[in-house]
Amino acid sequence: MASPQWRAPQETAPANGWVLYDRDCGFCARWIKIWLPTFKRHGFAVCGLQEQPWAEQLQLPPEQLLSDIRLLKNNGGLFSGADAYLQVARAIWWAWPFYALFSLPGFNQLLHAAYRSVARNRYCISHSCNLTP
């Protein structure tokens, strides 16, 4: 679900928006590194949530700021967690079937539950797999 709107400066806006992640999480950093070329090719910029102006502009308490991956679309829409993944998939032609399937009831709940489980345990995964940011 989209959060309140925030508009970024258009002169610096990528075509589709910003993927914002916890740059201090080894799991997140590894995941972003794998997907970075795809994100760039499809008009997404990638930034750490800890970087300015994101932490300041999103106006979230610190414990909420880093709780999820976020997608800030350049039209002002803000999506988090599994919804951020769905919105990115929607913008990439070959990932659109993922968006279509996991937008359906049942599949959508499954995606959100899986995302929440991984997000809750990402620091344990990072530590266990020796993934450094």
In a domain, residue 78? The reply is yes
In a domain, residue 4? The reply is no
In a domain, residue 5? The reply is no
In a domain, residue 3? The reply is no
Higher pLDDT: 81 or 14? It is 81
The CA distance from 113 to 110, in Å, is 5
In a domain, residue 18? The reply is yes
pLDDT of 11 > 60? The answer is: no
In a domain, residue 2? The reply is no
The domain in which residue 49 lies consists of 10-128
In a domain, residue 123? The reply is yes
Q: What is the DSSP string of 97-108?
A: HHHHHHTSTTHH
Q: Cβ neighbours of residue 50 under 8 Å, at least 6 residues apart?
A: 22, 23, 24, 66
pTM of the model as a whole: 0.82
Which burial class, exposed, middle or buried, applies to 64 when counting CB atoms under 10 A from its CB (0-12, 13-18, 19+)? exposed
Which residue stretches of the chain are H helix? 26-41, 54-58, 62-65, 82-91, 96-102, 107-128
Number of domains in the chain: 1
Between the alpha carbon of residue 93 and those of residues 10, 38, 66, 73, the distances in Å are 24, 11, 29, 17
Instruction: Report the share of the chain in percent with pLDDT over 90.
Output: 51
Orientation angle between helical segments 107-128 and 26-41, nearest 10 degrees: 120
Picking from 105, 109, 107, the residue whose alpha carbon sits closest to that of residue 117 is 109
pLDDT of 47 > 80? The answer is: yes
- Whole-number pLDDT of residue 4: 43
In a domain, residue 65? The reply is yes
pLDDT in tens, 49-104: 888 778 778 888 877 888 899 999 988 899 999 999 999 999 999 999 999 999 99
**Average pLDDT over the chain, rounded to an integer:** 84
Range name among 1-15, 19-33, 116-130 with the lowest pLDDT average: 1-15
